[in-house]
Amino acid sequence: MSPATSPHPACPPPCAAPNRHVPLVAHSPSEAGAATDPDYEALPETAGPTRLQMLAPQRAGAAAVGSGNGAAILAAVPPQYAGTAEAFARIASTEGLRSLWRGVSSVVVGAGPAHALYFATYEYFKGLALTMQAAGSGSASSDVIDPMWAAGAGATATVLQDALMNPFDVCKQRMQAFSGAQYRSLLHCATTLVRNEGFFRAFYTSYPTTLSMSIPYQSLHFATYEAVSEAINPDHVYDPRAHMAAGATAGALAAAVTTPLDVAKTLLQTQGESPDPAIRAARGMRDAVRLVFQREGYRGFAKGLAPRVLSHMPATAICWTTYEYFKYFVSYSSAANDEMPARSTL
């Protein structure tokens, strides 16, 4: 869907000739709903999975909205992209390379505690699953977990992880959105969202949708990781190459399969930045899916697939390799003077 390129409609003198390089953004629902769209070339160029997945607002009737000081406010409309390469090139040339890392502070702050909770929960329920698996088969307990049990343990872990991580994820999405430049920092973004939208509406409206995506993602992720690990590392030794390969495969497959759900989640997490009344009124997965299909058709559910897969592959490879190393290190340390656990080297 191509963005409109119609000229500015007639409006009062304050907005008759807006600055083409510094568009004004509506910050409240009332302003956004009534604001007119600026010229396409006046919009901030955007990129990344979040921006590729955002729906362009429907073109509304021409209207200028006065702010408290009488100035007109124009709602910036996110442009659409032909693909990942175009998005990266345009954002780098217009917003600078630093904009590609916008929102990273939210990930840095939230990822540590969330992943600690995530893996601790997974290991706990994996242990329970191994015990139940052994009891069901009548055989001695082993370290080989059935993929279905791994999927269940992963799904349980993600429920708790997402409860902690969802507010950070919302802030990341908002800071990466086309209007994200208005936020000076993670704290500024969080306080602004709470003030304008309320704590639960801003940070947990998308939580059920997040779970509807995360549970299938993590179930497939853990099941694939355990299955691939068993296939390429049957001795279960610390092997960085095997962990990286299994992690990258699991992350890529899970990311690709759940991209349609991620598109719906992105719509709900960024709706506060949209000037489109229909997008702002979306209240759950059903509304989000309906809007994506109405505006983009089936192709809309694949938006952002390439950068999503490309970002998840190295991320999950690094995550699993690091995690397995610390498991190995702790095992070695706890063994004290015993022989070091078996390992292979790069």
On whether residue 14 sits in a domain, the answer given is no
Q: Hey, which of 2-6, 173-177, 219-223 has the most confident mean pLDDT?
A: 219-223
d(C-alpha 23, C-alpha 4), whole Å: 16
d(C-alpha 15, C-alpha 166), whole Å: 38
Residues 325-344 have pLDDT tens digits of 998 888 877 765 555 555 54
**In the predicted model, what is the mean pLDDT of the chain?**
75
d(C-alpha 252, C-alpha 238), whole Å: 22
Does residue 48 carry a pLDDT above 50? no
| Segments forming the whole domain that contains residue 286 | 50-328
Q: How far is CA 346 from the centre of its chain?
A: 32
The pLDDT assigned to 175 comes to: 84
Does residue 30 carry a pLDDT above 70? no
What CATH number does residue 298 fall under?
A: 1.50.40.10
Burial of 83 (0-12, 13-18, 19+ CB in 10 A): exposed
Does residue 68 carry a pLDDT above 50? no
Q: How confident is the model at residue 124 (pLDDT cuts 50, 70, 90)?
A: very high
The pLDDT assigned to 73 comes to: 33
Q: How confident is the model at residue 270 (pLDDT cuts 50, 70, 90)?
A: confident
End-to-end CA distance of the chain: 47
On whether residue 338 sits in a domain, the answer given is no
The pLDDT assigned to 40 comes to: 28
On whether residue 76 sits in a domain, the answer given is yes
Does residue 280 carry a pLDDT above 70? yes
Mean pLDDT of 264-287: 83
Does residue 60 carry a pLDDT above 80? no
Does residue 184 carry a pLDDT above 50? yes
Mean pLDDT of 158-173: 91
Give the global pTM.
Answer: 0.62
The torsion defined by the Cα of 146, 219, 327 and 144, in degrees rounded to 10, comes to: 0
Q: pLDDT exceeding 70 applies to what percent of the chain? A: 67
Q: How confident is the model at residue 219 (pLDDT cuts 50, 70, 90)?
A: very high
On whether residue 44 sits in a domain, the answer given is no
d(C-alpha 283, C-alpha 206), whole Å: 8
On whether residue 31 sits in a domain, the answer given is no
Q: How far is CA 34 from the centre of its chain?
A: 29
> Does residue 65 come out as left (phi exceeding 0), alpha (psi in the -120 to 50 range) or beta?
beta
Question: How many domains does the chain contain in total?
Answer: 1
On whether residue 10 sits in a domain, the answer given is no
DSSP collapsed to 3 states, the chain: CCCCCCCCCCCCHHHCCCCCCCCCCCCCHHHHHHCCCCCHHHCCCCCHHHHHHCCCCCCCCCCCEECCCCCEECCCCCCCCCCHHHHHHHHHHHCCHHHHHCCHHHHHHHHHHHHHHHHHHHHHHHHHHHHHHHHHHCCCCCCCCCHHHHHHHHHHHHHHHHHHHHHHHHHHHHHHCCCHHHCCCHHHHHHHHHHHHCHHHHHHCCHHHHHHHHHHHHHHHHHHHHHHHHHHCCCCCECHHHHHHHHHHHHHHHHHHCHHHHHHHHHHHCHHHCCCHHHHCCCCHHHHHHHHHHHHHHHHHHCCHHHHHHHHHHHHHHHHHHHHHHHHHHHHHHCCCCCCCCECCC
